[in-house]
């Protein structure tokens, strides 16, 4: 790992600390996860940048992924 330093506004810091606590992770891990959503580090799978972007509203959609992606069978 490479250590780096960033500057946040007070509001940004409070909001990110609150979200990290809600998720049960460190502030650093929250920022790493956020960056992974914006920056692709694995150029061999560029489609992964879009993973998780579509929400069906159905908490069981992963069980019926083909229906979600291709439409329900008639």
Query: pLDDT tens track of the chain, all 74 residues?
Result: 888 999 999 999 999 999 999 999 999 999 998 888 777 666 666 655 566 656 666 777 667 767 766 776 65
CA 17, CA 28: separation in Å to the nearest integer? 10
Alpha helices, H only, the chain: 10-23, 27-38, 65-70
Per-domain residue ranges for the chain?
9-36
pLDDT at 39 (0 to 100): 76
pLDDT at 28 (0 to 100): 94
Tokens of 56: 């069906």
């Amino acid at each position: 790992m490479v250590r780096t330093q960033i500057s946040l506004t007070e509001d940004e810091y409070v909001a990110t600390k609150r979200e990290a606590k809600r998720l049960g992770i460190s502030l650093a891990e929250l920022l790493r996860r956020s960056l992974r959503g914006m920056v692709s580090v694995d150029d061999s799978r560029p489609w992964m940048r879009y993973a998780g972007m579509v929400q069906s509203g159905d908490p069981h959609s992963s069980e019926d992924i083909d229906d979600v992606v291709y439409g329900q069978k008639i």
